[in-house]
Chain A
């Protein structure tokens, strides 16, 4: 068994107006190093919750199960420790930070992660060089670096900014939570290129999506169907095409 990412029997709930609501009901998922996996599934099946739980958001209470990442107990780590260990979550709805300059934010994040990983921090010049190369590759304007984080960004700009952060932070596990939703074909291509550029034997990605289109560019190793808080079906890249045609109905029947 691989010890890269191993999720077993994961249950998690959220407090919904005073009553606990169980959202993850026994997720089992193994992602070996170097692979891209996709998760598809109807709305409300727990896909975003899984991504938040992996990134360490505190609103969710893990009631049972385990997640190991590169041999470490991921659930015992703080969000920033997970980032340092290589976990990156591209948010479905990136957060705006008024008053926080995007370039300063990126440099703070990059250096925090480098420091935690035992790498030398980037000085202003080294950072600018790196970030300029990254923005160029992502067809982003440098003007976006001067603005406040995600403030006044269009939907597409916000997603591109997520990909820029991912590129700069060099994660070993990227979780993309519907990063493709609402993007046009060109922007979609940029997101896919961002992930593909990181591909290596030590990099894996978990891509949550509703659409086949992004997966055409990413060519995933495995596709999983999530329903009612569990992975109910897994297959190869062809599964995504099947879902595109048939929808989830047959898998939901299977899960019931």
Chain B
């Protein structure tokens, strides 16, 4: 028994892989982990989201080889064959490892000009934006990362969009993978990163695995990074992601995360507005059922004047699902004229569903505009009756209202390609959790000029 026991949870699920690490950065991360353990409920940042599901497993490193058929099927089912997304360059990782044969240019789509791509495994470098000493899950990633993508967009280049797909292909043995991604945009550059996390169904029940990605985003002066993420991993999965964004003057990080899958998921964003007139959007939606837990956590730091931050989150929770939103806005003394907005809304469709919301404002500047709010409610009986009195069957009426609640926040994302992915994923999740559409082709926007 150790003389000093860590205050957090045991590292046993990963212990076998933490020994003998020599790289100094990874070694420091392991030391940090051993000191604090995995975060337990007494750690404020993890009070509402418990890592209990990780205990009792021994997570092995996922094998490099995988069964191509289910992975191919998962890709086909998740990404449309036509439209803008089909012709968008694609980077695919399977079990956290880059899979060149599934990625562009193998698909005949070259990466945009002015974009350089490198695998993390080719030269493992840890971006200084990440703070493993503060976030134990990032320390774990730092210790165990084997691969990931590193994208940089040259100054002034409008790089359109790139799709980043993670396919998990787990078998009987519990595995974990810890991809390390980074994106950097030179001054005036722009890129939309469309991220998708899926599982390839093996068919034989829920495979246990743990996906622990870290993404660092360096957005230079006047650059704009748009980031759309759809997480629809299978039951049995734990998905704990951390994103760091540093946004220089007049730059923007505009993000939207849609959480649909995994038993336990957390999307944690640390955004720092480091130059004047920078902007950050951390918008998102979750639609969860059964015993799913979905957590969106953000820490937004206004470290320069005249910056804007926007967070609009909507949760729909059925069965025994639980949603968590933690949003901290930290305004430094120098950050005068800060304009911050935060709103978390939840629709609870079952008496057993739960939402935990924790807004935090820490403001040291005296000339700021910061608002935050939260609402919790059930479906409106009057609205339901109105629809039904027009002949719409109850199940369909419910779906229409739930969809409308979520579409209002999806509408914050304007790009056509990212939106197509969001709509497709949401439609499938609505059919699963709320009820099927009764009329084929009844999706919003169907009736048009």
Q: Which residues of A contact B (CB under 8 A)?
A: 55-59, 78-80, 82-84, 88-89, 91, 94-95, 97-101, 103-105, 107-109, 111-113, 115-116, 121, 124, 127-128, 145, 148, 165, 169
Task: Judge whether B392 is part of the interface by a CB distance below 8 angstroms.
Answer: yes
**B386's closest neighbor in chain A, by CB?**
A95
How big is chain B's contact interface, by range?
A: 20 to 34
Task: Judge whether B396 is part of the interface by a CB distance below 8 angstroms.
Answer: yes
Instruction: List the 5 closest pairs (A to B, CB-CB), nearest first.
Output: A99-B404, A83-B391, A113-B391, A109-B390, A79-B388
Q: Which residues of B contact A79 (CB under 8 A)?
A: 385, 388-389
B419 CB, nearest partner CB in chain A, Å: 15
User: Which secondary structure characterizes the binding site on chain A?
Assistant: helix
- Once the chains bind, are A107 and B447 in contact (CB under 8 Å)? yes
A56-B389, A103-B447, A124-B446 known; 16 other A-B pairs, CB under 8 Å?
A57-B385, A58-B385, A79-B389, A80-B391, A83-B391, A89-B389, A97-B386, A99-B405, A105-B390, A105-B400, A107-B446, A111-B439, A113-B391, A115-B439, A124-B448, A127-B447
15 contacts between A and B (CB under 8 A): A79-B388, A91-B386, A95-B383, A98-B408, A100-B404, A104-B442, A107-B446, A108-B442, A109-B390, A109-B391, A112-B439, A124-B448, A127-B447, A128-B447, A169-B390
B residues 358-408 touching A (CB-CB < 8 Å): 381-383, 385-394, 396-397, 400-401, 403-405, 407-408
Task: Judge whether B438 is part of the interface by a CB distance below 8 angstroms.
Answer: yes
- Once the chains bind, are A112 and B385 in contact (CB under 8 Å)? no
- Once the chains bind, are A78 and B439 in contact (CB under 8 Å)? no
A182 CB, nearest partner CB in chain B, Å: 19
**A78-B383 contact, Cβ under 8 Å, with A108-B396, A128-B447:** no
Which residue of A91, A95, A103, A121 is within 8 Å of B439 (Cβ)?
A121
Task: Judge whether B84 is part of the interface by a CB distance below 8 angstroms.
Answer: no
B residues 416-449 touching A (CB-CB < 8 Å): 438-439, 441-442, 444-448
**B411's closest neighbor in chain A, by CB?**
A99
Q: Which residues of B contact A121 (CB under 8 A)?
A: 439
B52 CB, nearest partner CB in chain A, Å: 36
**A124-B447 contact, Cβ under 8 Å, with A95-B382, A98-B408, A99-B407:** yes
- Once the chains bind, are B388 and A78 in contact (CB under 8 Å)? yes
A133 CB, nearest partner CB in chain B, Å: 15
- Once the chains bind, are A108 and B401 in contact (CB under 8 Å)? no
B residues 253-303 touching A (CB-CB < 8 Å): none
CA gap between A186 and B389 in the complex, in Å = 27
**A150's closest neighbor in chain B, by CB?**
B386
CA gap between A55 and B389 in the complex, in Å = 7
- Once the chains bind, are A112 and B391 in contact (CB under 8 Å)? yes
- Once the chains bind, are B385 and A165 in contact (CB under 8 Å)? no
